[in-house]
Structure 1
Amino acid sequence: MTTAPKEGTHVTTTSSTAVQTGAMEVERPSLPKRIVSVVGVQNISLIIAIALVVAIIGIQNPLFFGVANLRVIGTAITIMGLLAVVQTIVIILGALDISVGSIAGLTSVTSAMIFTAAGTAAGVAGAIAIGVLCGLINGCIIVFGRVNPVIATLATLAAFMGAAQLISDGRAQGYTGADPFFVFLARGAIIGVPVLIWVLVIVAALAYVVLRFTSIGRNIYAVGGNNIASRLAGININRYVIGTYMITGAVAAIAGILITARTGSGQPVSGSEGLELQAITAAALGGAALKGGKGTIVGTLLAVILLGVLTNGMTLLGVNSFWQNVAQGALLVIAVVIQQLRSGERRIGIPG
């Protein structure tokens, strides 16, 4: 005897089939959502901010859009951009380097002094070697001295600045204004783009590739995100800390060489003072989390452009230069506050 299906059985089967069919048909996100997911909310915010600043300044002063002024902006942000790129890597690692400006000043002086004594190649190589040594000192203090990176690099900020002033007697040293290589760095161009900008593009591209496509980059993110889990996973954290600071020192030395090229002499302080704050501000504005594990080179470069456009625009509009420092400090505070709000941590009290 055949038993008739219970009432509602057919409906249940149909509903189950419909659910399965619906699960298989994944709704594709809209074009705006796909653009946001690829570009990133942080980067889109920076692009909008740049567009607004450009529009406001351009309306006030049409000279802002001149080719000559755009070249000025590009070359002006190069040195800050180099330091911001490596500062981003250090921050992703979960650390900080406040000494990058002093390393740039020290290597600027040494590049000019060694150049005067032994020629161009020796000056460049010597400056980079000293930058790497400074980074090694920073890394060893942090790793073997168990010193907080902020305290360690705050100490070397003063030490490296003092060393630059001691060996230079507090004055500009050497003269590179007649050397073809330094002149090419300062005023040369490749396919119409200043060499200074090419240097930034190359360093930023290398940093992007390493962070995005290599195991080294993935490990840097992992260490910054959770150093305990990274250690248990077999990552040699000490090696990454020391290596990252050595690379930071090398790039800071390149920035120092560019300072020498632009000014025609080695500068112990002028041209490098305050660069560490600018680098940290750009990295934070670009989305690098000061607690580590998060950040992008593209975001940092957009923040560098924003800072460069803002500084240039304020200069064109005749704003007192002291207000530029105020604006820069305010942007850093805003960037950090936004990070805290996004983190979901408590909003009142001393940060944990």
Structure 2
Amino acid sequence: MNIQRYGIIIAFFALCIIVTIIGEIQILRGKWDYNYFLSQGNMLIVLRQLSINGILAIGMTFVIITAGVDLSVGSVLALSSIVAARFATTNTGLSWTGTVDAIALPIIIALGIGTICGLINGTILSRFKLQPFIVTMGMLSAARGLTLLSTDGNPVSQLNENFRWIGKGHVMGIPVPVLILVFVFISAWILLNKTKFGRYVYAVGGNPKSARTSGINVNKIKILVYTLCGALAGIAGIILAARTGSAQTDAGNAYELDAIAAVVIGGTSMSGGTGSLVGTLFGILIIGVLSNALDLLGVTSYYQQILKGVLIVVAVLIDSSRKSSRD
């Protein structure tokens, strides 16, 4: 077995086994009545919670494979969420009463906003040869400012039930956000692994000069990649607003870090050219299971943030070690 290829999968199942054992120990010590971690209800909670960051991480995977990074996804999520929510609540007078319109219109608006923000990011950094870090940091600030400006800093609440179904509904017992994540993952996997566009994404990340020499429009690929990432941030914003029943101006804070963490932990190289969506998926699962287990054990969020930071650094060190061994 290729440990480098399957290491992330092994790590995930090892983590699940460890958490399960800890749960059994807690039962023996009389602190738990049963192993709640293994319950179907808890598994669905974990999947529902990680669906938003999962969708962001999928978009981030495309960006990082091209040797870029998008720090604006959290703010774009918030902007998409709060503007779309204004068309799904009676508080603003913009809500549509029809069931289809109440769902379709906010979705179209959120997707449009996310797509436009991503398009701006990709266009500026590719046309003017600027660093993705700088451009997307600018968008992070601008999108957050527009989020606050759009409602004078106030949240948008009392979203209609038709729209909230996106975040709280079930289909055959499976939460709708989980189904959306699965659909996005399958579509993105096909796009990255079975199309010419996917091959170009890897080529641009691996060696942009060689890609350009081979006739690949490097600027176009980068623009499309950042546009895709922005669109997925819009989808994530829809789910977050629908799940919580309101759109908050501070939504999405540090979500970009969670997305980057999942991608890096999943084995995608920050230097570009290598990575996989399957690895990202297991990176998302590891973060989700770990956070859930720490919550069940009563560990505060402060320690969780520290642990997440350690995981990122370790993943980057492993990636650096692999790159050095290849060189």
User: Whole-Å Cα distance in 2 between the matches of residues 46 and 301 of structure 1?
Assistant: 13
Shift of 1:69: 1.2
Matching residue's letter, 1:342: R
Q: 1:46 aligns with which of 11, 24, 33?
A: 11
Taking only the aligned residue pairs, the percentage that are identical comes to 38
The yes-or-no answer on 1:311 pairing with 2:291 is: yes
Q: 1:125 to 1:233 in 2, by over 3 A?
A: same
The whole-number CA distance in structure 2 between the counterparts of 1:101 and 1:109 is 12
Give the match for residue 65 of structure 2.
92
Counterpart residue number, 1:114: 87
**Helix, strand or coil at the partner of 2:136:** helix
Match of 2:76 in 1: 103
1:90 positional shift = 0.7
CA contact (8 A) 1:223 1:293 kept: yes
Residue aligned with 1:294, SS = coil
Q: Which of 233, 237, 259 lines up with 1:279 in the alignment?
A: 259
Determine the C-alpha separation between the residues in 1 that align with 2:161 and 2:140. 30
Could you give the per-residue CA deviations for residues 184-242 of structure 1, whole angstroms, max 9, x where no partner exists? 21222122211110000000111111111111111100110010000000000111111
Q: Aligned equivalents of 1:107 and 1:53: distance in 2? A: 38
Q: Matched residues in 2 for 1:49 and 1:96: separation?
A: 30
Q: 1:340 to 1:282 in 2, by over 3 A?
A: same
What is the alpha-carbon root mean square deviation over aligned residues? 1.8
Correspondence for 2:99: none
Tell whether the 8 Å contact from 2:12 to 2:285 is kept in structure 1 after alignment: no
Q: CA deviation at 1:43?
A: 3.1
Gapped regions of structure 1 (runs ≥ 5): 1-32, 347-352
TM-score, scaled to structure 1: 0.83
Distance 2:40 2:305 in 1: 26
The SS at the match of 1:46 is: helix
Q: Distance in 1 between matches of 2:179 and 2:231?
A: 17
Residue in structure 2 matched with residue 55 of structure 1 by the alignment: 20
Q: What is the SS of the residue equivalent to 2:86?
A: helix
The residue type paired with residue 178 of structure 2 is I
Local SS of the residue matching 1:152: helix
**Structure 1 counterpart of 2:268, one-letter code:** A
Residue in 2 that maps onto 1:344 = 324
Give the drift of 1:98.
0.7
- Equivalent of residue 153 in structure 2, options 170, 173, 176: 170
Match of 1:139 in 2: 122
Deviation at 1:342, TM superposition (A): 1.1
Match of 2:230 in 1: 249
Secondary structure of 1:288's partner?
coil
Distance 1:243 1:233 in 2: 19
Work out whether residues 165 and 268 of structure 1, in 8 Å CA contact, stay in contact via their aligned partners in 2: yes
Structure-1 residue corresponding to 2:29: none
Give, in angstroms, the shift of residue 302 of structure 1. Answer: 0.6
Distance 1:139 1:53 in 2: 42
Partner-residue secondary structure (3-state), 1:115? coil
With normalisation by structure 2, the TM-score equals: 0.90
The corresponding residue for 1:65 is 38
Q: Give unmatched runs, 5+ long, in structure 2.
A: 27-31, 97-101
- Deviation, structure 1 residue 88: 0.6
Match of 2:174 in 1: 193
Residue 288 of structure 1: aligned partner: 268
> Which secondary structure does the structure 2 equivalent of 1:269 belong to?
coil
Structure 1 residue 49: Cα displacement: 3.9
SS in 1 for 2:88: helix
Contact 1:110 1:126 in 2 (8 A): yes
Report the equivalent of 1:79: 52
Give, as a single letter, the amino acid of the residue that structure 1 aligns with 2:224. G
